[in-house]
Structures are given as structure tokens and as C-alpha cells.
Structure 1
Amino acid sequence: MVNEKLDRRKKYTRMVLKDGLIALLKTKPISAVTVKEICELADINRSTFYSHYKDPFDLLDQMEEEIIEDMNTYLNQYNFTKEEESLKMTERLLEYIFSKREICHTLLNENGDSSFETRVMTVAQKFLIQNWMDINAFQTNRYEYVSVFVISGSIHIIKHWLANNMDQTPKEIALIINHIANNGLKG
């Protein structure tokens, strides 16, 4: 019983510290965030912060890692046929981002750490790109360049979608991304 109470308290502490950091990242870059500011927002003392994290960068890194692991777990539960895979996987990725919109929007904005965008690109590449390449029969020597182009463009579409308060459904955005990936800008 005592361990359960401690675990709940630990989870709560980490949650409010993460919430505090997210609130600060909405207005300033991680390099300008201090432990003192996070602790004030979380109503936690500094020693408690340091019992969980080394510094704001460590907190951010652990938050990003949790999101990436969660995203991988979420996407790994789906198994589609080749024909439906790229659209459905894109839609599932967007549904995941939709479910975590506040944190994803904050981590992908200009105040977030660019490593998160790179990590999201790696996840997208793992789940989406190979099928796009198979569908479009790209030559192996062009794979890397096409992959970077498609994923970078997709991430920017997602960032634009987040910035526009997700004004379209995940399915609509998935259709746009897949159409561009498969057909370029052709009508």
C-alpha cells in the first residue's frame, strides 16, 4: 500500500513537472527555461525536481522519449496489407498526434527541441516510407533523398495542421500527405 502511494505521488510529481515545462515551451525555447520556473509552475521544490531530473533538458528528453515509445507502441499494433498500408498508417500516426495534440504542438513548434522533430521523422520513416517507395518503385540510390523530402514535407504539413488547430480530420490530412507522396503535386 505504501509503495502504491509513493508511485502515485511520483507519477503526479512527474506529470506536473512535465506540464510546467510544456507551459514554458509555449513561450520560450528550452535553452531559456530554468528549473526555478518549472518548479514554480508545478508548485514543487527544486530538490524534488532534482530527484527526478538533472535539468530541464533531461526532463524534455525523457518526455520526448516517452512520446516516441508510445507512438511506436501505438503504430506497432496495426498490420495492414500493402495496398492500404501507407494511407492507414499515416492516418494512425495523425490520430496519435491528434490524441496528444498539446504536447506534440508544443514540442514541434519553434521553441521545442529540434531533436524531437528528427525523432518523429524516424518513426514516420519506419512505418510509412518503405511502402511509399514500394508503391512508387523508386531506385535504391534515390531512396534516401526521396525519403527525406517526403518525411520533411509531411512533418511540415503536420506542424501546419497543429498550428491551424487541427482544422481537418486526421483522415483528410492523411489523404493530402499520401497524395503528395504518391503523385507529387499533380492534381
Structure 2
Amino acid sequence: MDLRIEKTERGIKNAFIQLRSKKPLEKITVRELCELACINKSTFYSHYRDIYDLSDNMEEELVRSIINSISHPEYIMEHPAEFTKELCFAYLSQNTLTMIIFSGSQRNNLVDRIETSIKEMVFQKYPDCREDAVWNIVLSYCIQGAYHTFQRNREGDMNTLIEVIGRLTEGVKGVYEYTLMDAVHPPR
């Protein structure tokens, strides 16, 4: 990428983060962003369709960064507790930016995007799981549940929080295995 383009992109994104940290996405205008980034509107529009396109782009980059910091995405199927720990540490590594980019009306977009990305990685490795309703439920529960529990209980001891979430996730795997047993040997 041309250095000028890269510098302009960085300026736009930094200005957006500054504005986003102070106000809701819906209240940010292209005009004020351009003033803060010291660019003109035509420059902004050569990079993005509108503020929402910029926000979407930054959300996607942040999700990619979180997902890429997970060393073993397949662990969600094999070792759910370890996977959950990696996911929580990935959230922590991007905490400040996450709290800015995914605040307000964008709050639940992070976990929804994370879930979609993780499921896609899982389904690439385990294609039979794509159509498995029980695994889809288990995956959603583990990802969504771990995220919301993590976000709502961050004030306490972080190691305890991550350990408990990991154990709960491991327990959910047992529920899946138990459900399979019921399918093979239904209770009488």
C-alpha cells in the first residue's frame, strides 16, 4: 500500500476512535471526522462510503485481530476450557479498542461477529458439524455465554473469572455428549 494512503487511513481511523470514544456512532458526522483527521470530504469518500462503512471496516479488523490471536481455534471442540481461556485473553488484549468501537448500539456486534468467525473456522475443520443442530447450539452457548459472563464480571479477579468460564464451557461439552447418548439410547 502506498505510504500516503496508509497514513491517510491511519488518520481517518484515529480520528474515528477519538470521536467514537466521546459519542455514539449515530452522532458522528463525516464533516467533523474530516476536520479532526485534517482531510477533505472527497478524501474520506475515496476510502469509505460513509461513517457506517468505516465503522464496519474497523469492527471487522478488530474481530480479525481477536480471532487471529487465538492459537488453537479447534480447541472449542476438543478442549473447550482451554479455548475459552484463549478467547478471554484475546478479548483482554483488545479491551480498550473493543470498548470504544463496540459501544452503544454496536455493543452486541462483537460477540455476534466472533461467533460467526469461530463457527466458520470450526466448520472448516469439522464440516459435519455445520448441519449438526446440537453442536451449533453448544457453540453459540459457549461463545455467547463466555463473552457475556466475561463482560459482566470483569471487576473481580480475572484469573478466577477465566477459570470458572473455562470449567463451565468444559461442562457444556459434557451436555453435548450426553445428548448424543440420548439420541442413541433414548430414556425409557
Same fold (TM over 0.5): yes
Tell me if structure 2 keeps the 8 A contact 1:87–1:174: no
Task: Trace 1:109-148 onto structure 2 (pairs within 5 A).
Answer: 109-112=103-106, 114-125=108-119, 141-148=133-140
CA contact 2:67–2:117 (8 Å) conserved in 1: yes
SS of structure 1 residue aligned to 2:79? helix
State the one-letter code of the partner of 1:144: N
Change (3 A) 1:46 1:19: same
Note if 1:174 corresponds to 2:162.
yes
- Counterpart check, 1:13 vs 2:8: yes
Q: Is the 8 A contact 1:150 1:181 kept in 2?
A: yes
How many residue pairs get aligned? The number is 164
Q: CA deviation at 1:59?
A: 0.8
Question: CA-to-partner distance for each residue in 1:101-143, whole Å, 9 max, x for gaps?
Answer: 2211223322426433310222344578xxxxxxxxxxx5533
Q: Which residue of 2 is the match for residue 50 of structure 1?
A: 45
Alpha carbons of 1:84 and 1:112: their partners in 2 closer, same or farther (altered >3 Å)? same
Residue in structure 2 matched with residue 40 of structure 1 by the alignment: 35
Q: Which residue in the other structure is 2:150 paired with?
A: 158
Q: Does structure 2 retain, via aligned residues, the 8 Å contact 1:107–1:116?
A: no
CA distance in 2, matches of 1:24, 1:177: 34
Between the two proteins, what is the percent identity of the paired residues? Answer: 26
Q: Which amino acid aligns with 2:43?
A: T
| Contact 2:11-2:37 within 8 A present in 1 as well | yes
Which of 79, 83, 87 in structure 1 is aligned with 2:81?
87
Q: 1-side partners of 2:136 and 2:75: how far apart?
A: 24
> How far off its partner does 1:80 sit?
7.8
* Secondary structure at the counterpart of residue 69 of structure 2: helix
With the length of structure 1 as denominator, give the TM-score of the two structures.
Answer: 0.67
Instruction: Give RMSD over aligned pairs.
Output: 3.3
Q: What residue ranges of structure 1 are gaps of 5+ in the alignment?
A: 129-139
Q: Structure 2: which 5+ residue stretches go unaligned?
A: 123-131, 173-188
Contact 1:39–1:45, Cα closer than 8 Å, also in 2: yes
Deviations 1:20-75 (A, max 9, x none): 22233334332322111222222322222112111111111111222233333332
Q: Report SS of the residue matched to 2:106.
A: coil
Q: Distance in 2 between matches of 1:104 and 1:110?
A: 12
| Alpha-carbon separation, structure 2, partners of 1:161 and 1:15 | 33
Which one has a bigger Cα radius of gyration? 2
Aligned to 1:104: 98
